[in-house]
Each structure stands twice: as C-alpha cells, then as structure tokens.
C-alpha cells in the first residue's frame, strides 16, 4: 500500500491510499481560497447517565445533498474543485471540514472509497475493498496514538433514510476523547461473563452462533457472519473474525485477505433483500476496543438496515428513543434465513 500525505488549502490533512506501492506520490495543490476551519465543539457530560454529549452547532451549515456536478468528494476536473484536488484517486481520507470533534476534543475524518460518484461499497472490487480495510487499519493505528484519544470508530452511513447528506460513497472515522456508551456496556458485560464463567463473552457468542446455524448467514475460514440472538434491528448482522482480536491493527494477513469477498457478498445480499431498484439503506459500524484497555472485547463489524419491509422503515418509537428498550418486528432466525436464501 502506498500512502501519500498532503494538505488542503485550509491546512487540513489529506491522505491518498494506493494499492500499488510503486505508485507516484500524489501531491496536487488545493487551489481553493479557503480560510482555516473554525469549529469549537463542546463536550458535555450528562450527569444523569454518565454519557458524553457533543455540542457542535457549527455543523448546521455543512453541505447538504449537493447536485452530482457539485459533489465535494468527486475528483477535481475542469470547472470543479472539491475536497480532493487530484484528478483521480483510489481511496482518499481527509479531515472533515465540518467536524463533530476537533482539536483537543478529538478528530473526524472522511473516507472516500472510490472516485465513482454513483457507485457503492458493494460495487467495489475485492482489491479495492481490501485497500479500504488497510486504510481503516492505518487510521486506527495513527489516531489511537494521539494524545487524549480513547476510542477510534470507523463506520459508513448509506442512504438518505439514514440521514446521509453526501451520496458519494464514503464513510467516516471518529477519534473520540471518551469511550462510547455501547463499548462501556460491552466491557461491563464481558467482565461479568468472565467473572461468572471464566470464559470470554465474545468467544462464547461466536461459538454459539456457529453452532446455532439458524442464525448463521455466511461462514468462511477466518470470518463468520450471523444475526445476533437479540437483534435490535429488522436485519442486523454481526461479522466476526474467528480468531478474537481487539482491533483492526491485530488482524493477520489471512484474515485481511478473506474479509473483502465475504463482506461484499454480505452487502450485496442486503441490497437484494427487498427487491427494490434503490439500494438498501444501512449503517456499517466497526466495534473496536478502546485505545487503552479493553482486552476482553472482540473486534467485529455490525451491519444493519432501518428498512423492515419493502417501502417500510423502522422508526425509533417512544420505547426505543425514549427508554433505549428496543422492540424488533422481525425474528432474528427469519432474518438470517432470508439473508442466506436471497439471490
């Protein structure tokens, strides 16, 4: 992998990733007359729950659903400049111009998977998906080492139903100055399980899923995809490496080599679920251990859609948005069966 680091006109970092290590260094200047980003997000702790809330009022002015010919994530061309000044790229990562976290309160990055505006992650080749995996891994390693960073979160939101404001295929990486509530809950559950059984919670969950084949979706030599026993979303799949590791940096070459084809298969099954012309909206989220600690946790990817049936979305009702008590309309075993059988 070739990594080329440069700067945008306002001083933000831009990184190009190329699969071929012999590729020329990309260092095209950004011609835009940009002023430095002025963002002052504020972290506030909810005393009633202990959760951290980010106040980022400056994001109200961020770019919202621009026309395709004004997409800021497309490569530069005559008459068009955006966040990526090169005329072409493979994978590009840059600091978000409208970050939820910045400065001493963390960092937000945008990951562009492809220069093709109308593509999606599911349209990538296995080689390109592997390059994205390598970029995620590199960002995890570098951001985890920054002072004050407690957790690195790599994710993709796809679809207007999810709230995506830029349709160009991309994801994000957040370097958080705190451990997220979900990770804190998993850490506590893993500690309780170890105390009660002497075993690792996530190793037991994976073993149970591989045995309970009614919830199994895909199984490779190094990865397993399954619907969790208590799935919260209508179609929710967790993808685990069969060998427990705590974060992306600890995956071996065999695991990295197998991941792309299996993940692309899973995404394409999601797109075929409802037989609709428009792609299935989804969230794809990497769960990693905190930068310091979390030895009992297990790296895994959570993929879910808010679509529950053709033309119907699952909205968070009062019990879910108000009390965090999820209620699922689709049985996990039925969701797994449909994902196994979809063609």
| Superfamily of domain 2-179, CATH level 4 | HIT-like (3.30.428.10)
Write out the DSSP string of 173-223. EEEESS--HHHHHHHHHHHHHHHHHSS-HHHHHHHHHHH-GGGEEEE-SSE
Distance CA 60, CA 57 (A): 6
Q: Where are the domains of the chain?
A: 2-179, 182-341
**pTM of this prediction?**
0.96
Cα-based angle 231, 283, 310 (whole degrees, multiple of 5): 75
CATH architecture classification, 182-341: 2-Layer Sandwich (3.30)
C-alpha atoms less than 13 angstroms from C-alpha of 162 in its C-beta half-sphere: 20
Are the folds of 2-179 and 182-341 the same? yes
pLDDT tens digit at each of 343 positions of the chain? 999 999 999 999 999 999 998 888 888 999 999 988 877 889 999 999 999 999 988 787 777 778 888 999 999 998 888 999 999 999 999 999 999 998 778 999 999 999 999 999 999 999 999 999 999 999 999 999 999 999 999 999 999 999 999 999 999 999 999 999 999 999 999 999 999 999 999 999 999 999 989 999 999 999 999 999 999 999 999 999 999 999 999 999 999 999 999 999 999 999 999 988 889 999 999 999 999 889 999 999 999 999 999 999 999 999 999 999 999 999 999 999 999 999 7
Tracing tokens 């797109």 back to the chain, one arrives at 271
Where in the sequence numbering do the catalytic residues fall? 170
How many CB atoms neighbour CB 135 within 10 A? 26
């Amino acid at each position: 992998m070739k990594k080329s680091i440069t700067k945008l006109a306002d001083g933000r970092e831009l990184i190009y990733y190329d699969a071929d290590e012999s590729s020329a260094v990309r260092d095209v200047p950004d011609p835009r007359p940009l002023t430095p980003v002025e963002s002052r997000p504020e972290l506030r702790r909810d005393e009633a729950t202990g959760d951290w809330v980010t106040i980022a009022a400056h994001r109200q002015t961020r770019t919202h659903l621009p026309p395709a010919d004004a997409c800021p994530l497309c490569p530069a061309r005559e008459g068009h400049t955006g966040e990526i000044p090169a005329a072409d790229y493979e994978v590009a990562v840059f600091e978000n111009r409208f970050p939820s976290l910045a400065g001493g309160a963390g960092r937000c990055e945008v990951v562009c998977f492809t220069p093709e505006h109308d593509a999606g992650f599911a349209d990538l080749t296995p080689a390109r998906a592997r390059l994205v995996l390598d970029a995620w891994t590199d960002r995890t390693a570098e951001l985890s080492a920054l002072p004050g960073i407690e957790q690195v979160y790599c994710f993709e939101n796809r679809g207007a139903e999810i709230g995506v404001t830029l349709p160009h295929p991309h994801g994000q990486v957040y370097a958080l100055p705190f451990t997220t509530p979900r990770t804190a809950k998993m850490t506590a559950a893993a500690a309780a399980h170890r105390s009660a059984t002497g075993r690792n919670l996530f190793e037991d969950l994976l073993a149970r899923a591989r045995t309970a084949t009614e919830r199994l979706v895909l199984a490779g030599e190094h990865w397993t995809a399954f619907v969790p026993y208590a799935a919260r979303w209508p179609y929710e799949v967790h993808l685990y490496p069969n060998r427990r590791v705590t974060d992306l940096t600890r995956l071996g070459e065999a695991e990295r080599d197998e991941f792309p084809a299996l993940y692309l298969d899973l995404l394409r099954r999601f797109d075929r679920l409802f037989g609709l012309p428009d792609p299935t909206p989804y969230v794809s989220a990497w769960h990693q251990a905190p930068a310091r600690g979390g030895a009992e946790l297990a790296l895994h990817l959570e993929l879910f859609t808010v679509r529950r049936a053709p033309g119907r979305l699952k909205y968070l009702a009062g019990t879910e948005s108000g009390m965090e008590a999820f209620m699922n309309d689709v049985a996990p075993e039925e969701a797994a069966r449909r994902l196994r059988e979809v063609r």
